[in-house]
Amino acid sequence: MAQRWGIVWNPTKIDEDELRAAVDAASPADTEILWWETTADDPGRAMASEAVDSGCDVVIAVGGDGTVRTIAEVLAQAGDVAPALGIVPQGTGNLLARNLGVPLGSVPKALDVIAAGRERRIDMGWSTADEEETATGFLVMVGFGLDAHMLSETDDDLKDKAGWLAYVEAMARAVAAAQTVDFTIAIDGGDEQTLIGHTLLIGNCGAIQGGVTLLPDAEPDDGRLDLLLVSADNVAQWAQALRTVVWDNGIRRLLGGDDTVSTDSAQHLTGESIEVTLPAPVAFEIDGEEAGEVSRLHVRVQPAALRVRC
């Protein structure tokens, strides 16, 4: 059966001739290919909307996490007419691709996965910060505090060479910038409770770069969001938090451990809707990218929002 592919690509991430040649080689013979190029002013929203209106069977995001997230927002809001999402990861983080097992570092292999047609339904998260009227989608995680500082401090080259050790190195520098804050949180419409921490992560997927899994229970298709609260006041507590993240809920889980470990310095929670109020603005990130500061945050999950070819 003939297919219609919509290619939405970021020209700063890949050479056009290389991409067109790879698409021609991977697409079935009866596939119609439509092309849209992102711009500095629009990372893909208008282009993805045109692809939906054009009746594409799949919209392929060629770019980094920002391009993928923007296109996914459009598809998640398109309802029954939404095409499937294909991913050709060309960024630094490529976080959703990592979590779904999409091939990294090879445009032809990523396109072969799309051409194979296997699809998985996944959830999408939505966050509304402060007085914003429009929610912003996320596919992996949002967070504030030390996490956002750590992401901005982490050296990309070191991440590739040293894996999770790069985050340890970045954490040492980020601790000076982040402060423990008291904030209120309400999960699934329940009573507000006051928590204290450097960092709160809210995620749909759990893995980041360097082989680190911050949210070991997070599944992109379980209709829930997972939370990690990190709080530490001294060297011993930081060591405990690091052990919990890297060993107890990372390496040990890979070796057959079953249950997620929570400690005083690294606490795990879960919910479908989260309301957070902070006493003052703190650094905020969306899918591994800095997103300014936030003092009030509403986060919710949209179950089975996307069909992804993976």
E strand or H helix that includes residue 197? strand 193-197
E strand or H helix that includes residue 126? strand 119-129
E strand or H helix that includes residue 149? helix 146-153
Query: 212 — phi, psi (to 5°)?
Result: -95, 130
Residue 150 β-bridge partners: none
E strand or H helix that includes residue 228? strand 225-230
Owner of token pair 């901005």: 152
- Cα–Cα distance measured from residue 134 to residue 293, given in angstroms and rounded to the nearest whole number: 16
Q: pLDDT (tens digit, 0 to 9) for every residue of the chain, 310 residues total?
A: 789 999 999 999 999 999 999 999 999 999 999 999 999 999 999 999 999 999 999 999 999 999 999 999 999 999 989 999 999 999 988 999 999 999 999 999 999 999 999 999 999 999 999 988 899 999 999 998 765 655 545 555 544 554 445 555 555 555 555 567 899 999 999 999 999 888 899 999 988 776 677 888 899 999 999 998 887 565 455 555 555 555 455 544 544 556 665 555 678 899 999 999 999 998 888 987 888 899 999 999 999 999 999 9
Residue 238: predicted pLDDT: 54
Owner of token pair 């009030």: 296
Residue 230 β-bridge partners: 199, 266
E strand or H helix that includes residue 35? strand 32-37
Residue 262: predicted pLDDT: 56
- Cα–Cα distance measured from residue 83 to residue 58, given in angstroms and rounded to the nearest whole number: 5
> Burial letters for 138-151: b for 16+ Cβ neighbours within 10 Å, e otherwise?
bbbbbbbbbbbbbb
The residue count of the chain comes to 310
Residue 235: predicted pLDDT: 47
Residue 93: predicted pLDDT: 83
How does strand 266-271 pair with strand 193-197? Answer: unpaired
